[in-house]
Amino acid sequence: MTETPNRYNLSRRDPHSKPLLSMTEPQNSDLEPTALTANAPTVVPSIIEDIASISMPQEQPEPMPSENFDYDVVVIGAGPGGYVAAIRAAQLGGKVACVEKEYLGGTCLNVGCIPSKAMIASVERLQHVMHADKLGVKVEGKVSMDFEAMMTRKEKIVQIQRGGVGTLFKKNGVTHFEGFASFVDQNTIEVTDKDKKKTKVRARYFVLAMGSSVIHIPVPGLTGGRENDVWTSDEAVSAHKIPKSMLILGGGAVGVEFGYVFNGLGSKVTVIEMMPNLIPMMDTDLGVELGKLLSRQGIVVKTGATLDKCEKSKTGWKCHVKKGGETEVIEVETVLLGVGRKANTDGMNLEKVGVKMHRRGVEVADDTMRTHAPNIYAIGDVTGRIQLAHVASHEGIRAVTNALKGESRLVDYKAVPNCVYTVPEVSSVGLSQSEAEAQGYEVSVGKFNFRPLGKAMASTEQDGFVKVVCDKKYGEVLGVHMIGAHVTDMIHEGVVAIKLEATLDYMVDTIHAHPTMSEAVLEAFEDADGHAIHK
Ligand code: FAD
């Protein structure tokens, strides 16, 4: 079962076996689009309007619990892993409860994905209006951000989405316990609510979905929290001010997204990343390009640099930044720690019931998401593996399906999209060029810039490119990497290609609409095949 490890140290198919989907062989007709699906209209309503318009549903009759258990499944944590797992378990006919100590929606909805994207959207709209003259739009008077209104809007979105989770729980008959869960034995937890009242709950299966929380990684001299202008992402999403200047430690997704936001709001932002490029978890070309484009917006990007120590100054912090042999002192109002999270496992008696731990969280025995306690599963951030909301949700669905249907199906991590929501956006799926080469593939690489595309020019969104990595021998698509406008939506073409083990010949034989940004994907595959039309 052990296969070549990829960046997540998870399993992939044998790198040299034939792909499943190749035009050179007869295909399974189930995979061919039908006239019906090809012409089906797509309607994409605003998710906020959608959730707001959901009327209070009739509560479903509760299924009978099995044997002497109160529930078939109890999920601990209502983040994107836990709440999705709970709903799917109920859809499968289980009697289900979900315990949440704080807010429905977890990190993602309350202090992560959603609030940060709401902030990004406000800043992006401001930039559009400020630069509207490029498209012939005349904006008169002073254009500026009402920061309070921006943050109020963000908070409203969070509240509506949070309410949406509660509504879905009611609709699906999921019981919501408010409180902190800890184990009494392998089939019993105790939930302690905010008034210290304790309730024992028994279940056949448990899903650990407690997620992770920010930690202050130690930097000599840097002490305190918001009151001292030392922020983590939690303070950034609930900021009460726009600091005049900010040093962000960490050039990963969180660091660069907040860099984009606060730079766009007028802060003088410096991003420090110890690796040679920003977003080091992605293909090197993406990090290099993002560094260039963010620098052009005015962000000072220092890669290959470390924050050695900080000293309190009258107006904030003096940060000693080391790069090569040189140390530079950068004075800022606020330091934002953009790295450092810890799995939420304290005080839950996990080891007492047979759940094993590793350095970064709960250990899963295998990709069925079972822990070493056979009736207890673990998903999402708490496993210390891939920290992405959509992975948590997918693992949650797999875990409860395995539990309730008695299956042992593995999560397939081959095609996990990874997105960064700066402007320009960045997205990636599969192997980077260097990962593919390190795994022994001989690769064909194709690259196409957005610049010459009619759609990109028409919408003044010409920055960035699409890069594809294919196996030279069989043509299998191994990786798709993009930077530019709308690429977090466009990446799913690559996700499906990799999931279905599609080959280069299939990709170049796929008609792409004109004019669209997605033409760059087709052209990148054409380039890997040796003949891009517009290059
Ligand atoms: P969480 O969302 O952390 O939820 C766990 C829940 O369990 C929490 O609500 C917690 O209160 C509860 N809990 C913990 N212990 C107990 C207990 N003992 N009893 C009861 N309840 C308990 N990911 C993306 O995919 N896309 C993004 O754009 C993105 N942006 C991000 C931006 C920021 C600023 C941050 C910080 C994260 C971002 N992430 C993003 C990561 C994403 O938020 C997490 O990967 C995701 O929330 C993990 O989901 P989870 O269900 O595993 O855990």
pLDDT in tens, 452-478: 999 999 999 999 999 999 999 999 999
Q: With a 6 A CB cut-off, is 299 part of the ligand 1 pocket?
A: no
From CA 463, how far away is CA 484, in angstroms rounded? 6
Is there an atom of ligand 1 within 6 Å of 124 CB?
no
**Three-state SS for 105?**
coil
pLDDT band at 98 (very low <50, low <70, confident <90, very high): very high
CA of 105 to the centre of ligand 1 (A): 8
Q: What is the arithmetic mean of pLDDT over 132-151?
A: 96
Distance 213 CA to ligand 1 centre (A): 8
pLDDT band at 49 (very low <50, low <70, confident <90, very high): low
Please report which helix (H) or strand (E) contains residue 271, including its range: strand 268-273
Q: Taking 80 as the threshold, does the pLDDT of residue 268 lie above it?
A: yes
Backbone angles phi, psi at 442, to 5 degrees: -95, 125
Q: Is the CB of 123 under 6 A from ligand 1?
A: no
Distance of CA 252 from the midpoint of ligand 1 (Å): 17
**pLDDT score recorded for residue 64:** 52
- Ligand 1, atom 28, lies closest to the CA of 113
- Mean pLDDT (whole number) for 237-242: 98
Query: What is the whole-number distance in angstroms between the Cα of residue 176 and the centre of ligand 1?
Result: 18
CA distances to 122, 148, 248, 338 from 244, in Å? 19, 16, 13, 18
Taking the centre of ligand 1 as the mean of its atom positions, its distance from the CA of residue 207, in whole angstroms, is 15
Residue range 46-63: mean pLDDT, rounded = 52
Assign 329 a pLDDT band (cuts: 50, 70, 90).
very high
The confidence score (pLDDT) of residue 269 equals: 98
Instruction: For 360-429, give the DSSP string.
Output: TEEPPSSTT-B-SSTTEEE-GGGGTS---HHHHHHHHHHHHHHHHHT--PPP--TT--EEE-SSSEEEEE
Cβ–Cβ under 8 Å, residues 313 and 333 = no
Residue 214 pLDDT exceeds 80: yes
* 254 in contact with ligand 1, CB cutoff 6 A: yes
Cα 323 to ligand 1 centre (Å) = 33
Residue with the nearest Cα to atom 37 of ligand 1?
112
**Distance in angstroms (rounded) separating the CA atoms of residues 264 and 248:** 14
Per DSSP, 173 falls in state T
pLDDT band at 151 (very low <50, low <70, confident <90, very high): very high
Q: What are phi and psi of 131, to 5 degrees?
A: -110, 20
Residue 66 is predicted with a pLDDT of: 56
**If pLDDT is split at 50, 70 and 90, which confidence band does 14 have?**
low
Catalytic: 514? yes
Among 75, 83, 102, 108, say which to mutate for ligand 1: greatest number of ligand atoms within 8 Å of CB. Answer: 108
- The reply to whether omega before 424 is within 30° of 0 (cis) is yes
The answer to whether residues 105 and 79 touch, using CB atoms and an 8 Å cutoff, is yes
Q: Is the CB of 369 under 6 A from ligand 1?
A: no
The overall average pLDDT reported for the chain is 91
Which residues, including other chains, have CB under 8 Å from residue 34's CB and lie 6 or more apart?
none
Q: Indicate if ligand 1 lies below 6 Å from the C-beta of 109.
A: no
Predicted confidence at residue 4, as pLDDT, reads 35
243-265 pLDDT tens trace: 999 999 999 999 999 999 999 99
For residue 106 and ligand 1, the question of a CB distance below 6 A is answered with: yes
Per-residue pLDDT at 60 exceeds 60: no
Give start and end residues of each alpha helix (H) in 173-224: none
- Which token pair is 421? 């929501």
Residue 331: pLDDT over 90:
yes
Does the pLDDT of residue 26 top 60, yes or no?
no
Q: What is the mean pLDDT of residues 52-57?
A: 53
Candidates 372, 514, 531, 534; catalytic one: 514
Whole-angstrom distance, CA of residue 265 vs CA of residue 116: 14
CA dist., res. 77 & res. 89, Å (int) = 14
pTM, rounded to two decimals = 0.90
Closest approach atom of ligand 1 to CA 117: 28
Is 381 near ligand 1, meaning CB less than 6 Å away? Answer: yes
For residues 276-286, average pLDDT: 97
Tell me, using a 6 A CB cutoff, whether residue 210 lines ligand 1: yes
Per DSSP, the three-state class of 277 is: coil
State if residue 81 touches ligand 1 by the CB under 6 angstroms criterion. Answer: yes
Q: Is 187 in the pocket of ligand 1 (CB under 6 A)?
A: no
Neighbours of 262 (CB within 10 A): 24
Nearby residues of 225 by Cβ (< 8 Å), 6 or more positions away = 216, 231, 235
The Cβ-side half-sphere exposure at 31, using a 13 Å CA radius, reads: 14
Write down the pLDDT at residue 68.
87
Question: From the alpha carbon of 80, which atom of ligand 1 is closest?
Answer: 51
Protein residue closest via CA to atom 15 of ligand 1: 210
Whole-angstrom distance, CA of residue 162 vs CA of residue 100: 12
pLDDT of residue 21: 61
Predicted confidence (pLDDT) at residue 16 exceeds the cutoff of 90: no
HSE toward the beta carbon, residue 485, CA cutoff 13 A = 18
Buried b (16+ CB within 10 A) or exposed e, 475-492: bbbbbbbbbbbbbbebbe
Q: What is residue 163's predicted lDDT score, i.e. its pLDDT?
A: 97
The total number of residues written for the chain in this structure = 535
What spacing in Å lies between the alpha carbon of 285 and ligand 1's midpoint?
Answer: 29
Interval between CA 49 and ligand 1 midpoint (Å): 24
Cis peptide before 515 (omega within 30 of 0): yes
Q: Please tell me which residue, 444 or 32, carries the higher pLDDT value.
A: 444
Give me ligand 1 centre to Cα 312, in Å. 32
Give nearest CA residue, ligand 1 atom 30. 113
Q: What is the pLDDT of residue 416?
A: 98
Does any ligand 1 atom lie closer than 6 A to the CB of residue 99? yes
Nearest atom of ligand 1 to the alpha carbon of 105: 9
